[in-house]
Amino acid sequence: MMDLFLSVLAALNEFSTTSSPIDFMLILRHGGLFLEGLINSFTLVALSFTLAALFALPMAVLKWGRVPVAMHAVSAFVYIFRGTPLLVQAYLIYYGLAQFDDLRDSIAWTVLKDPWWCVLIALTINSTAYQVEIYRGGLEAVPHGEIEATKAIGLGKLAALRHIIIPSALRRCFPMTGNEMIFLLHGSAIASTLTITDILGAGRQLNSEFYLAYEGFLAATLIYMTVIISLTKFLNFIEKGIMGHIQLTSPTPNVLP
């Protein structure tokens, strides 16, 4: 039994290294590398998205509520960090900050010298800027009448935001929020340019070690696709759950004859 298995394995190896256009056994032998990459990517994206959401929602409320001074600060922040590519921001944090002697001597350096933290900070700040605009769009879309009803019933501003306005706004902008998660996953690929082994980093490593371009990057592509398809399915499931209050205008879709 074991012999059969080993001989099949040997045959596959033989096929893979010589005649197959893609050396798939090489990829499988480096499964651990890709797993490390997957874990790194996942952690970076999940953490940065969550942190960004925690910052972005209050900022969006400040801008939507037209709170004096704060709304301008938020706008400036959004301008700056949507106005430059994520890669440039990451380089500025990782390479650029190292230039300042004072910074290198300070306690912040313990964090900032580590590329992982630099990438996390870059991803978080960048995603915050985009999420502010997404949530603000959701808030603007809440019907003004529903907001008036919260006033008429004597609900204070904070309570109205917490119980009525924000839940309504988040439901409205949910598809865009899902989009941002996926873009963040794409963007996290910059981590590989800063020496971190994420999904792409694993692919690059394979490439640089064996000079086989397709194997490494194809594997990375497949992993990204699998993660994104799973994420999309999960987001669709959530969307069905939270949008149950919407009535379709007709029971069947309007199809042109």
Partner 1 sequence: MKSLTDHANSPQMIARDIRKSFGEVEVLKGISLEAGQGDVISILGSSGSGKSTFLRCLNFLETPDSGHIEIVGQAIDILPGKSRVTLKNEAEMIRKIRTQTGFVFQNFNLWAHLTVLENVIWGPIHVLGLSRAEATERGAALLDRVGIHAKKDSFPAFLSGGQQQRVAIARALAMEPALLLFDEPTSALDPELVGEVLKVMRSLADEGRTMLIVTHEMAFARDVSSRLLFLHKGMIELEGTPEKVFQRGHSERFDQFVASIQH
Query: Near partner 1 by CB under 8 A, which window of 32-40, 157-165, 211-219, 225-233?
Result: 157-165
> Is residue 151 a contact point for partner 1 (CB under 8 A)?
yes
By CB under 8 A, tell whether 257 contacts partner 1: no
| Of positions 12, 25, 87, 155, contacts partner 1 by CB under 8 A | 155
Residues 171-190 that bind partner 1 (CB under 8 A): 171
- Tokens 């921001």 found at: 89
Task: Kindly state whether residue 245 participates in binding partner 1, applying the rule CB under 8 A.
Answer: yes
* Binding region for partner 1 (CB under 8 A) out of 26-34, 75-83, 131-139, 153-161: 153-161
Q: Kindly state whether residue 163 participates in binding partner 1, applying the rule CB under 8 A.
A: yes
Angle at alpha carbon of residue 120, lines to 82 and 234, rounded to 5°: 85
Compute the distance between CA of residue 150 and CA of residue 165 in angstroms, rounded to an integer: 9
**Using the rule CB under 8 A, is 43 a contact of partner 1?**
no
Size of the site for partner 1 (CB under 8 A): 21
Residue 133 C-beta: closest distance to partner 1, Å: 22
Q: Write the DSSP string, 176-211.
A: HHHHHHHHHHHHGGGGGGGT--SHHHHHHHHHHHH-
Answer yes or no: are the C-beta atoms of 136 and 78 closer than 8 Å. Answer: no
Tokens of 257: 């004859």
Whichever of 32 and 244 has its CB closer to partner 1, that residue is: 244
The one segment of 55-63, 65-73, 74-82, 162-170 that binds partner 1 by CB under 8 A: 162-170
Of 35, 11, 17, the residue nearest 212 (C-alpha): 17
CA separation for the pair 169, 141 (Å, rounded):
7
What SS3 class is residue 81? Answer: helix
Among 1, 4, 69, 152, binds partner 1 (CB under 8 A): 152
| Near partner 1 by CB under 8 A: residue from 31, 85, 156, 175 | 156
Q: Are 241 and 184 in contact (CB under 8 A)?
A: no
**Residue 254 binds to partner 1 (criterion: CB under 8 A):** no
Using CB under 8 A as the binding rule, whether residue 143 contacts partner 1 is answered as yes
Residue whose C-alpha is closest to residue 117's, from 57, 52, 47: 47
